[in-house]
Amino acid sequence: MTVQINTDSNVEGSARSKAYFSDELEKALIRFEEKITRLEVHFGDENSDKSGMNDKRCLIEARIINMQPVAVTNHAETTEKAFHGALDKIKKVLETTFEKKKTY
């Protein structure tokens, strides 16, 4: 399972933060690792330089073997909160998807 982290120009994308998010994804989704070829995470700040409520966005897309990709988006006041909200959502989507297919 390959993890790819992308940020827009308004979100810090240091190597340390990318490593943290990758580790969190791999730990949380380990039971699906043989079914997923790639995870793509996209971080964005929808208000750019302005501050605002829930303006940080995290989109997580899971590329699943022999299936269409699934994606979720979460908004929050910080990048970390947006990530953890999206992580919870993608876990639920994957559980539902594989439960319907009876493949995990």
pLDDT tens-digit readout, 32-88: 999 999 999 999 987 766 666 778 999 999 999 999 999 999 999 989 999 999 999
Would you tell me the crossing angle of helices 79-101 and 15-28 to the nearest 10 degrees? 30
Predicted confidence band at 103 (pLDDT cuts at 50, 70, 90)? very low
Work out whether the CA dihedral 84, 63, 22, 47 comes out positive or negative.
negative
Strand order in the sheet with 2-7: 2-7, 36-45, 56-64, 70-76
Q: What domains can be seen in the chain, in order of their start residue?
A: 2-101 (3.30.160.100)
- Spatial distance between the Cα atoms of 65 and 11, rounded to a whole number of angstroms: 30
The more confident residue out of 103 and 17 is 17
Predicted confidence band at 16 (pLDDT cuts at 50, 70, 90)? confident
pTM of the model: 0.88
